[in-house]
Amino acid sequence: MTSDTQLRVFTQDQTDAGWRSMSLLARFIQRGGHPAPVKPTIRLQGNEKQYGAFLADVLTYHSEGVFTGGGIFWSGNPISAEPGWEHRGRKAVTVTSQRLTVGTDTYDFRDLIMIQPNPLEWSVNLYFQGHPPLMLSSPWIPWMTVVMCAELYGSPWPPGFIASADLPMTTGQHAQ
Protein backbone atom coordinates (compact mmCIF):
# COMPACT_ATOMS: atom_id res chain seq x y z
CA MET A 1 0.00 0.00 0.00
CA THR A 2 1.48 3.39 -0.98
CA SER A 3 1.48 6.43 1.26
CA ASP A 4 -1.04 8.11 -1.07
CA THR A 5 -3.60 5.39 -0.43
CA GLN A 6 -2.95 5.58 3.32
CA LEU A 7 -3.99 9.23 3.50
CA ARG A 8 -6.86 9.93 5.86
CA VAL A 9 -9.98 10.91 3.94
CA PHE A 10 -11.85 14.06 4.81
CA THR A 11 -15.03 13.61 6.83
CA GLN A 12 -18.39 15.13 6.00
CA ASP A 13 -18.02 17.44 9.05
CA GLN A 14 -14.67 18.69 7.71
CA THR A 15 -16.03 19.32 4.23
CA ASP A 16 -19.11 21.09 5.58
CA ALA A 17 -17.01 23.26 7.92
CA GLY A 18 -14.59 24.23 5.14
CA TRP A 19 -17.40 25.13 2.73
CA ARG A 20 -19.37 27.10 5.31
CA SER A 21 -16.24 29.00 6.39
CA MET A 22 -15.46 29.90 2.77
CA SER A 23 -19.04 31.05 2.14
CA LEU A 24 -19.20 33.20 5.27
CA LEU A 25 -15.75 34.71 4.70
CA ALA A 26 -16.56 35.53 1.05
CA ARG A 27 -19.70 37.40 2.13
CA PHE A 28 -17.77 39.20 4.88
CA ILE A 29 -15.09 40.31 2.38
CA GLN A 30 -17.80 41.53 -0.02
CA ARG A 31 -19.18 43.73 2.77
CA GLY A 32 -15.72 45.29 3.30
CA GLY A 33 -14.34 42.96 5.98
CA HIS A 34 -10.89 41.41 6.14
CA PRO A 35 -9.72 37.97 7.32
CA ALA A 36 -8.71 37.78 10.98
CA PRO A 37 -5.14 36.72 11.75
CA VAL A 38 -4.46 33.71 13.98
CA LYS A 39 -1.62 32.89 16.36
CA PRO A 40 1.42 32.13 14.14
CA THR A 41 2.63 28.57 13.71
CA ILE A 42 5.58 29.66 11.53
CA ARG A 43 8.16 32.44 11.79
CA LEU A 44 6.65 35.59 10.29
CA GLN A 45 8.45 38.44 8.54
CA GLY A 46 8.01 42.09 9.54
CA ASN A 47 4.31 43.01 9.53
CA GLU A 48 3.24 39.64 8.06
CA LYS A 49 0.12 37.99 9.54
CA GLN A 50 -0.84 34.33 9.51
CA TYR A 51 -4.43 33.45 8.60
CA GLY A 52 -4.49 29.66 8.76
CA ALA A 53 -2.75 26.29 8.57
CA PHE A 54 -4.20 22.97 7.40
CA LEU A 55 -3.42 19.88 5.31
CA ALA A 56 -3.93 19.76 1.56
CA ASP A 57 -3.23 17.39 -1.29
CA VAL A 58 -0.49 18.87 -3.48
CA LEU A 59 0.07 18.37 -7.20
CA THR A 60 2.65 20.05 -9.44
CA TYR A 61 2.55 20.29 -13.21
CA HIS A 62 5.63 18.94 -14.91
CA SER A 63 6.60 19.79 -18.46
CA GLU A 64 9.47 21.45 -20.27
CA GLY A 65 8.00 24.84 -19.43
CA VAL A 66 4.92 26.99 -19.34
CA PHE A 67 4.49 30.02 -21.57
CA THR A 68 2.27 33.07 -21.28
CA GLY A 69 1.56 35.97 -23.64
CA GLY A 70 4.51 37.81 -22.07
CA GLY A 71 6.92 34.87 -22.47
CA ILE A 72 8.03 31.92 -20.39
CA PHE A 73 7.33 32.06 -16.65
CA TRP A 74 8.67 28.63 -15.72
CA SER A 75 11.09 26.29 -17.40
CA GLY A 76 12.00 22.89 -16.08
CA ASN A 77 12.73 19.29 -16.83
CA PRO A 78 9.80 16.90 -16.69
CA ILE A 79 10.14 14.08 -14.17
CA SER A 80 8.01 11.76 -16.28
CA ALA A 81 7.94 11.29 -20.05
CA GLU A 82 4.44 12.77 -20.33
CA PRO A 83 3.69 16.30 -19.16
CA GLY A 84 0.93 16.54 -16.58
CA TRP A 85 -0.06 16.81 -12.94
CA GLU A 86 1.93 14.70 -10.49
CA HIS A 87 0.68 14.03 -6.96
CA ARG A 88 3.16 15.11 -4.26
CA GLY A 89 1.19 13.87 -1.25
CA ARG A 90 -0.69 15.59 1.51
CA LYS A 91 1.30 18.44 3.03
CA ALA A 92 0.97 21.17 5.62
CA VAL A 93 -0.14 24.48 4.06
CA THR A 94 0.11 27.85 5.79
CA VAL A 95 -1.38 31.04 4.36
CA THR A 96 -0.16 34.46 5.48
CA SER A 97 -0.61 38.01 4.28
CA GLN A 98 2.52 37.72 2.12
CA ARG A 99 3.10 34.08 1.20
CA LEU A 100 1.99 30.51 1.07
CA THR A 101 4.06 27.69 2.55
CA VAL A 102 3.46 24.18 1.24
CA GLY A 103 5.52 21.62 3.12
CA THR A 104 9.03 23.07 3.05
CA ASP A 105 8.41 25.22 -0.06
CA THR A 106 7.55 28.92 0.13
CA TYR A 107 5.61 30.86 -2.52
CA ASP A 108 5.74 34.65 -2.26
CA PHE A 109 2.58 36.51 -3.31
CA ARG A 110 4.79 39.02 -5.20
CA ASP A 111 5.58 36.15 -7.61
CA LEU A 112 1.95 35.11 -8.13
CA ILE A 113 0.91 35.35 -11.77
CA MET A 114 -2.54 33.76 -11.73
CA ILE A 115 -5.10 32.09 -9.45
CA GLN A 116 -7.61 29.62 -10.93
CA PRO A 117 -10.09 28.70 -8.19
CA ASN A 118 -12.35 25.68 -8.46
CA PRO A 119 -14.29 25.83 -5.17
CA LEU A 120 -16.83 23.18 -6.18
CA GLU A 121 -13.92 20.72 -6.46
CA TRP A 122 -12.15 22.14 -3.35
CA SER A 123 -9.11 23.06 -5.40
CA VAL A 124 -7.11 25.95 -6.77
CA ASN A 125 -4.39 26.15 -9.41
CA LEU A 126 -1.67 28.66 -8.59
CA TYR A 127 0.93 29.98 -11.02
CA PHE A 128 4.02 31.54 -9.43
CA GLN A 129 6.92 33.02 -11.40
CA GLY A 130 9.86 30.61 -11.33
CA HIS A 131 7.90 27.58 -10.06
CA PRO A 132 5.96 24.81 -11.79
CA PRO A 133 2.17 25.26 -11.59
CA LEU A 134 0.73 24.13 -8.28
CA MET A 135 -2.66 22.55 -7.56
CA LEU A 136 -3.89 22.36 -3.97
CA SER A 137 -6.96 20.43 -2.87
CA SER A 138 -8.76 20.00 0.46
CA PRO A 139 -11.99 21.18 2.10
CA TRP A 140 -10.11 24.31 3.31
CA ILE A 141 -8.68 25.35 -0.08
CA PRO A 142 -11.75 27.42 -1.13
CA TRP A 143 -11.46 29.32 2.19
CA MET A 144 -7.70 29.79 1.61
CA THR A 145 -8.42 31.10 -1.91
CA VAL A 146 -10.80 33.72 -0.47
CA VAL A 147 -8.12 34.74 2.07
CA MET A 148 -5.48 35.10 -0.67
CA CYS A 149 -7.80 37.09 -2.92
CA ALA A 150 -8.80 39.39 -0.04
CA GLU A 151 -5.10 40.14 0.50
CA LEU A 152 -4.26 40.52 -3.18
CA TYR A 153 -7.40 42.04 -4.72
CA GLY A 154 -9.58 43.25 -1.84
CA SER A 155 -12.32 40.90 -3.03
CA PRO A 156 -13.19 37.25 -2.31
CA TRP A 157 -12.25 36.05 -5.80
CA PRO A 158 -9.73 36.97 -8.49
CA PRO A 159 -10.83 39.40 -11.21
CA GLY A 160 -13.11 37.72 -13.74
CA PHE A 161 -14.23 34.86 -11.47
CA ILE A 162 -17.94 34.26 -10.80
CA ALA A 163 -19.48 36.15 -7.90
CA SER A 164 -19.55 34.16 -4.67
CA ALA A 165 -23.32 34.73 -4.49
CA ASP A 166 -23.57 32.29 -7.42
CA LEU A 167 -22.03 29.50 -5.32
CA PRO A 168 -24.29 27.38 -3.13
CA MET A 169 -23.99 27.98 0.63
CA THR A 170 -23.54 24.29 1.34
CA THR A 171 -22.63 21.26 -0.68
CA GLY A 172 -22.74 17.65 0.38
CA GLN A 173 -21.56 16.17 -2.91
CA HIS A 174 -17.85 16.18 -2.07
CA ALA A 175 -17.55 13.90 0.93
CA GLN A 176 -14.53 11.67 0.42
pLDDT at 9: 80
pLDDT at 71: 46
Per residue in 28-70, pLDDT (tens digit) is: 999 999 999 999 999 999 999 999 999 999 999 877 655 454 5
86 exposure class (CB count in 10 Å sphere: 0-12, 13-18, 19+): middle
Spell out, as residue ranges, where the chain has pLDDT lower than 70.
1-8, 64-81, 163-176
Report the distance separating Cα 33 and Cα 40, nearest Å: 21
